[in-house]
């Protein structure tokens, strides 16, 4: 590729709208351009980086035995109603009505579509297990799209779905994906950690997030410096309009304990408690359970709630009517006027075993204030298990806080979708059984941003070779000089023939401009030819990461370089 005929519009200034370094550098290096909030065009360099990531993901998924398919982005509402998620999913789901007045959505994830496919195709245990994946554009109408490719409304995801005939098989599928993810992020050259996404006691080992460690990460994780233990403390960025930003960790004395609490005490606690600390609270008001708060993933919440309730025989489920009566809130909303919390949708109440489920402390604070009454905290599970400063539960070392970017998520779903959509097979005894599912996501476009968060310096991006849009920038300092140009073309042809991705800077620009651009875009290796070096019969080399400069002879360059 020749830069004179390429499109890599670099920018000198940092665009004002870009807060984090990856967003700034992706714009400045001419890799992406914004169309509208959270929606970007990939320019040639950006697309190459994206494809490099996608290809490594694809190779490792194939190696793990998953089969690539491509599902539609457009999904009918009917399927989502069947699974119960049409109402449950809230406003992040991008919905529309077609010309025949049929309700549809643009897929934020594909559990429904893939389960629908499989239920029509798979009849017998002999056809299981199967793991289907795709690399595809997803749509999520994020409330706060930001940080460029990090949190888009339209983004590229790899999503895989496994179907198994029994629990042991489902666990094996899960761990095979876990291993594949570890290989993927290692190959991509990222500093990452797999953390238990549900650090609570229930179901803890069946959801892991893969976190790229970076200060700009939106997730707070505890990590053990000595072993591989890590857990997600969920997002510390939750903001409650009345309580303000919720800090990452409350001081120990502010951590509430099970027992009776006044409305003020609970509200004060919830103000300072990060979502992670408020793991599982069951509220009892006037002797009746009125609300439950479980941190984290909604789908996981349901499972956890079921388990929790099963463990506490003296509790019974409140009906939606009771909950509405208790909160006084119209179904569909709770909290101060103008604040729409999707968590209180009536459908969701029903799904969540007729309990109100809040996803974070801010929700609970609002709910509680809304209730305006004292509450009993019945259960407050393993509060201290993941607090920084404790003994690592695995090796005893002192845990530390770090920030992470969620780039992958593996999840054992169990029967959730197969039951809802009736995806069954006949087992060895000819008996009909539900398939056991897992789902596994990777944020392909988010990885490009995360990689830049971890790999940059004052001059620009320092791409790890596997992600770099080109491995080598070949800079011809004297494009008007026939000899220099002939030599540059020769080297370009030889390297390209050897399968090396080279971008030849043959532009009629000042050397300073060329070096700055090469540094900014972050090619791992720069080769410079022309000027005094040419007269001396050498090619200058530079390793971008360590800024190490060297020389190689022009004569026999190819052999010396390889
Ligand atoms: P987050 O907690 O960051 O909102 P999520 O838990 O909602 O992510 P998943 O449903 O687990 O996301 O989706 C799988 C992967 O897709 C995530 O691990 C992440 O890497 C990526 N991803 C999710 N939302 C976005 C987004 N808005 N923009 C870019 N990538 C995303
Ligand atoms: Mg999300
Ligand atoms: Mg998440
Ligand atoms: Mg996730």
pLDDT in tens, 96-107: 999 999 999 999
Q: What share of the chain is helix, strand, coil (3-state, %, to 5)?
A: 35, 30, 40
Q: Which pLDDT score is estimated for 28?
A: 98
Q: Which pLDDT score is estimated for 233?
A: 64
Q: What is the DSSP string of 323-364?
A: HHHHH-PPTT--SSTT---GGG-HHHHHHTTTS-EESSHHHH
Instruction: With beta carbons less than 8 A apart as the criterion, state whether 131 and 463 touch.
Output: no
Average pLDDT (102-123) is 97
Average pLDDT (518-523) is 98
The model carries a pTM of: 0.77
Phi, psi at 410, each rounded to 5°? -115, 140
The atom number, within ligand 1, closest to the CA of 159 reads: 14
Residue with CA nearest ligand 1 atom 29: 151
pLDDT of 135 > 50? The answer is yes
Best residue among 446, 447, 449 to mutate for probing ligand 1, ranked by most atoms within 8 Å of CB: 446
User: Which pLDDT tens digit goes with each residue over 211-261?
Assistant: 999 988 888 787 778 887 777 765 322 222 222 233 333 343 444 454 555
Q: Which pLDDT score is estimated for 321?
A: 52
CA of 550 to the centre of ligand 1 (A): 42
CA of 325 to the centre of ligand 3 (A): 32
pLDDT of 201 > 50? The answer is no
Q: Which pLDDT score is estimated for 238?
A: 27
CA of 159 to the centre of ligand 3 (A): 14
Rounded Cα distance between 228 and 326, Å, is: 45
R_g over Cα of the chain: 27
Model confidence band, residue 264 (pLDDT cutoffs 50, 70, 90): low
Best residue among 157, 193, 359 to mutate for probing ligand 1, ranked by most atoms within 8 Å of CB: 157
Angle at 436 between CA 433 and CA 86, to 5 degrees: 100
Q: Of residues 198 and 18, which shows the higher confidence score?
A: 18
Q: Which pLDDT score is estimated for 114?
A: 98
Counting ligands in written order, the one closest to the CA of 447 is 1
Q: Which pLDDT score is estimated for 365?
A: 42
Candidate from 293-297, 415-419, 477-481, 539-543 with smallest mean pLDDT: 293-297
C-alpha distances out from residue 18 to 28, 193, 446, 487, Å: 10, 27, 15, 40
Rounded Cα distance between 163 and 111, Å, is: 11
pLDDT of 388 > 90? The answer is no
Q: Which pLDDT score is estimated for 263?
A: 54
**Residue 122 neighbours by CB distance under 10 Å:** 19
Q: Which pLDDT score is estimated for 327?
A: 45
Q: Which of 470, 550, 458 is nearest to 503 (CA)?
A: 470
CA of 283 to the centre of ligand 3 (A): 25
pLDDT of 531 > 60? The answer is yes
CA of 216 to the centre of ligand 4 (A): 17
User: Which pLDDT tens digit goes with each residue over 33-70?
Assistant: 999 999 999 999 999 999 999 999 999 999 999 999 99
Q: Which of 224, 235, 246 is nearest to 403 (CA)?
A: 235
Rounded Cα distance between 212 and 263, Å, is: 39
Residue with CA nearest ligand 1 atom 25: 151
What's the mean per-residue pLDDT of the chain? 78
Rounded Cα distance between 213 and 215, Å, is: 7
Q: Which pLDDT score is estimated for 144?
A: 86
Best residue among 441, 444, 450 to mutate for probing ligand 1, ranked by most atoms within 8 Å of CB: 441
Q: Which of 158, 167, 226, 239 is nearest to 193 (CA)?
A: 226
CA of 306 to the centre of ligand 1 (A): 25
The atom number, within ligand 1, closest to the CA of 235 reads: 2
**Pocket lining for ligand 1, CB < 6 angstroms:** 109, 140, 142, 151-152, 155, 157, 406-409, 441, 443, 445-446
CA of 400 to the centre of ligand 3 (A): 20
CA of 385 to the centre of ligand 1 (A): 26
pLDDT of 280 > 50? The answer is no
Rounded Cα distance between 248 and 232, Å, is: 12
Element (H, E) at 120: helix 111-121
Counting ligands in written order, the one closest to the CA of 237 is 1
Rounded Cα distance between 320 and 353, Å, is: 9
HSE-CB of 369 using CA atoms within 13 angstroms: 19
Q: Of residues 7 and 143, which shows the higher confidence score?
A: 7
Q: Exposed, middle or buried, 192 (CB in 10 Å: 0-12/13-18/19+)?
A: buried
The atom number, within ligand 1, closest to the CA of 407 reads: 20
CA of 443 to the centre of ligand 1 (A): 6
Phi, psi at 142, each rounded to 5°? -55, 140
Phi, psi at 120, each rounded to 5°? -90, -15
The atom number, within ligand 1, closest to the CA of 218 reads: 3
CA of 368 to the centre of ligand 1 (A): 29
Best residue among 210, 342, 409 to mutate for probing ligand 1, ranked by most atoms within 8 Å of CB: 409
Average pLDDT (431-439) is 97
Rounded Cα distance between 217 and 410, Å, is: 19
Q: Which pLDDT score is estimated for 231?
A: 74
Residue with CA nearest ligand 1 atom 1: 406
Non-local CB neighbours of 369 within 8 Å, separated by 6+ positions: 242, 263, 267
Counting ligands in written order, the one closest to the CA of 441 is 1
Counting ligands in written order, the one closest to the CA of 448 is 1
The atom number, within ligand 1, closest to the CA of 157 reads: 16
Average pLDDT (200-204) is 32
Rounded Cα distance between 103 and 89, Å, is: 15
pLDDT of 268 > 80? The answer is no
pLDDT of 507 > 90? The answer is yes
Model confidence band, residue 389 (pLDDT cutoffs 50, 70, 90): low
Residue with CA nearest ligand 1 atom 7: 297
Q: Which pLDDT score is estimated for 270?
A: 54
User: Which pLDDT tens digit goes with each residue over 318-366?
Assistant: 444 554 454 443 333 222 211 222 222 222 222 222 233 333 444 444 4
Instruction: With beta carbons less than 8 A apart as the criterion, state whether 337 and 301 touch.
Output: no
pLDDT of 128 > 60? The answer is yes
Model confidence band, residue 393 (pLDDT cutoffs 50, 70, 90): low
Q: Which of 29, 24, 25 is nearest to 7 (CA)?
A: 29
CA–centroid distance for 117 within its chain: 25
Rounded Cα distance between 288 and 301, Å, is: 20
Counting ligands in written order, the one closest to the CA of 406 is 1
The atom number, within ligand 1, closest to the CA of 442 reads: 15
Rounded Cα distance between 562 and 550, Å, is: 14
CA of 239 to the centre of ligand 1 (A): 19
């Amino acid at each position: 590729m020749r830069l004179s005929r390429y499109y890599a519009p670099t920018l000198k200034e940092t665009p004002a709208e870009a807060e984090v370094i990856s967003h700034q550098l992706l714009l400045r290096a001419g890799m992406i351009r914004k169309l509208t909030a959270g929606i970007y065009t990939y320019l040639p360099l950006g697309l190459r980086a994206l494809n490099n990531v996608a290809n490594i993901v694809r190779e490792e998924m194939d190696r793990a035995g998953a089969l690539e398919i491509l599902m539609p982005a457009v999904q009918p509402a009917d399927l989502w109603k069947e699974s119960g998620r049409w109402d449950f999913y809230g406003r992040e789901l991008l919905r529309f009505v077609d010309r025949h007045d049929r309700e549809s959505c643009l897929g934020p994830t594909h559990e429904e579509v893939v389960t629908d496919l499989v239920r029509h195709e798979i009849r017998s245990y002999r056809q299981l297990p199967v793991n289907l994946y795709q690399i595809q554009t997803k749509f999520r109408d994020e409330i706060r799209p930001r940080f460029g490719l990090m949190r888009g409304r339209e983004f590229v995801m790899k999503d895989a779905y496994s179907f198994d005939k029994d629990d042991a098989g489902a666990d094996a599928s899960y761990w095979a994906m876990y291993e594949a993810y570890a290989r993927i992020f290692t190959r991509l050259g990222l500093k990452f950690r797999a953390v238990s996404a549900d650090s609570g006691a229930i179901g803890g080992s069946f959801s892991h997030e893969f976190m790229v460690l970076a200060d700009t990460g939106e997730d707070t994780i505890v990590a053990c410096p000595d072993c591989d233990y890590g857990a997600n403390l969920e997002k510390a960025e939750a903001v409650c309009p009345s309580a303000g930003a919720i800090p990452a960790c409350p001081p120990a004395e502010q951590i509430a304990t099970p027992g009776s609490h006044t409305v003020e005490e609970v509200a004060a606690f919830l103000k300072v408690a990060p979502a992670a600390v408020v793991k599982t609270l069951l509220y009892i008001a006037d002797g009746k359970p009125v609300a439950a708060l479980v941190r984290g993933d909604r789908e996981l919440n349901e499972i956890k709630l079921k388990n929790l309730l099963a463990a506490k025989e003296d509790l019974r489920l409140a009906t939606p009517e009771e909950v509405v009566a208790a909160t006084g809130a119209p179904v569909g909303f709770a909290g101060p006027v103008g604040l729409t919390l999707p968590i209180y949708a009536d459908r969701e109440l029903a799904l969540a075993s007729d309990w109100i489920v809040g996803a974070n402390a801010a929700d609970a604070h609002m709910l509680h204030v809304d209730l305006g009454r004292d509450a009993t905290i019945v259960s407050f599970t393993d509060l201290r298990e993941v607090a920084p400063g404790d003994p690592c539960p695995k090796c005893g070392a002192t845990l530390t806080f770090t920030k992470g970017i969620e780039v992958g998520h593996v999840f054992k779903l169990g029967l959730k979708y197969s039951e809802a959509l009736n995806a069954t097979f006949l087992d060895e005894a000819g008996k009909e059984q539900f398939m056991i599912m897992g789902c596994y996501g990777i944020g392909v476009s988010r990885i490009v941003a995360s990689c830049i968060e971890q790999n940059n310096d004052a001059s620009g991006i320092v791409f790890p070779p596997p992600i770099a849009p080109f491995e080598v920038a070949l800079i011809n300092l004297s494009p008007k000089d026939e000899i220099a140009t002939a030599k540059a073309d020769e080297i370009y042809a030889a390297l390209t023939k050897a399968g090396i991705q080279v971008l030849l800077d043959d532009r009629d620009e000042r050397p300073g401009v060329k070096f700055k651009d090469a540094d900014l875009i972050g090619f791992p290796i720069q080769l410079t030819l022309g000027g005094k070096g040419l007269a001396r019969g050498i090619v200058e080399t530079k390793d971008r990461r360590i800024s190490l400069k060297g020389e190689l002879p022009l004569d026999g360059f190819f052999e010396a370089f390889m």
